[in-house]
Amino acid sequence: MATYLEFIQQNEERDGVRFSWNVWPSSRLEATRMVVPLACLLTPLKERPDLPPVQYDPVLCSRPTCKAILNPLCQVDYRAKLWACNFCFQRNQFPPAYAGISEVNQPAELMPQFSTVEYMLQRGAQTPLIFLYVVDTCLEEDDLQALKESLQMSLSLLPPDALVGLITFGRMVQVHELSCEGISKSYVFRGTKDLTAKQIQDMLGLTKPAMPMQQARPAQPQEHPFVSSRFLQPVHKIDMNLTDLLGELQRDPWPVTQGKRPLRSTGVALSIAVGLLEGTFPNTGARIMLFTGGPPTQGPGMVVGDELKVPIRSWHDIEKDNARLMKKATKHYEMLANRTATNGHCIDIYACALDQTGLLEMKCCANLTGGHMVMGDSFNTSLFKQTFQRIFTKDFNGDFRMAFGATLDIKTSRELKIAGAIGPCVSLNVKGPCVSENELGVGGTSQWKICGLDPTSTLGIYFEVVNQHNAPIPQGGRGAIQFVTHYQHSSTQRRIRVTTVARNWADAQSQLRHIEAAFDQEAAAVLMARLGVFRAESEEGPDVLRWLDRQLIRLCQKFGQYNKDDPNSFRLSDTFSLYPQFMFHLRRSPFLQVFNNSPDESSYYRHHFARQDLTQSLIMIQPILYSYSFHGPPEPVLLDSSSILADRILLMDTFFQIVIYLGETIAQWRKAGYQDMPEYENFKHLLQAPLDDAQEILQARFPMPRYINTEHGGSQARFLLSKVNPSQTHNNLYAWGQETGAPILTDDVSLQVFMDHLKKLAVSSAS
**What residues line the site for another protein (CB under 8 A)?**
172, 174, 180, 182-190, 193, 202-205, 244, 248, 250, 253-255
Residues 6+ apart with CB under 8 A from 257: none
Q: Which is nearer to another protein, 115 or 265 (CB)?
A: 265
CB of 180 to another protein, least distance (A): 8
Task: In angstroms, give the least distance from the CB of 193 to another protein.
Answer: 7
CA angle 687, 688, 690 (to 5 degrees): 85
**In the complex, what is the shortest distance from the CB of residue 182 to another protein, in angstroms, rounded to a whole number?**
5
Shortest approach of another protein to residue 169 CB, angstroms? 12
Cα 219 from Cα 227, distance rounded (Å) = 17
CB nearer to another protein: pick between 142 and 244 = 244
Residue type, 119: Y
State the SS3 of 10-47: HHHHHHCEEECECEEECCHHHHHHCCCCCEEEECCCCC
Rounded Cα distance, 90 and 679, in Å: 77
User: Taking the complex as a whole, how short is the minimal distance between the CB of residue 172 and another protein, in angstroms?
Assistant: 5
- Helical residues (DSSP H) of 370-432, grouped into ranges: 382-391
Closer to another protein at the Cβ: 194 or 437? 194
Alpha carbon distance 582, 588 (integer Å): 10
Instruction: Give the nearer residue to another protein in terms of CB position, either 298 or 627.
Output: 298
Which residue, 125 or 188, has its beta carbon nearer to another protein?
188
Q: Report the distance separating Cα 103 and Cα 377, nearest Å.
A: 61
In angstroms, how far is CA 296 from the centroid of its own chain?
Answer: 25
The smaller minimum CB distance to another protein, of residues 27 and 186, is found at 186
Question: Shortest approach of another protein to residue 329 CB, angstroms?
Answer: 22
Q: How far is the CB of 331 from another protein (least distance, A)?
A: 23
- Is it true that the peptide bond before 703 is cis, omega within 30 degrees of 0? yes
Q: Are 434 and 411 in contact (CB under 8 A)?
A: yes
129, 135, 329, 379, 605 from 243: Cα distances, Å:
19, 14, 33, 18, 34
Considering beta carbons, is residue 204 or 274 the nearer one to another protein? 204
- Contact predicate 171/254, CB 8 Å: yes
CB nearer to another protein: pick between 190 and 513: 190
Least Å distance, CB 183 to another protein, is: 5
Q: From the CB of 224, what's the least distance to another protein, in Å? A: 22
- The CA-atom distances, in angstroms, between 466 and each of 29, 39, 435, 672 are 9, 14, 11, 68
Of 193 and 324, which CB lies nearer to another protein in the complex structure? 193
Sequence-distant (≥ 6) Cβ neighbours of residue 350 within 8 angstroms? 289, 290, 291, 292, 372, 374, 376, 379, 384, 387, 388
Cα distances (angstroms) measured from residue 604 to each of 64, 349, 442, 483: 41, 10, 20, 28
The least CB distance from residue 133 to another protein, in Å, is 17
In this complex, which beta carbon is closest to another protein, that of residue 203 or of residue 749? 203
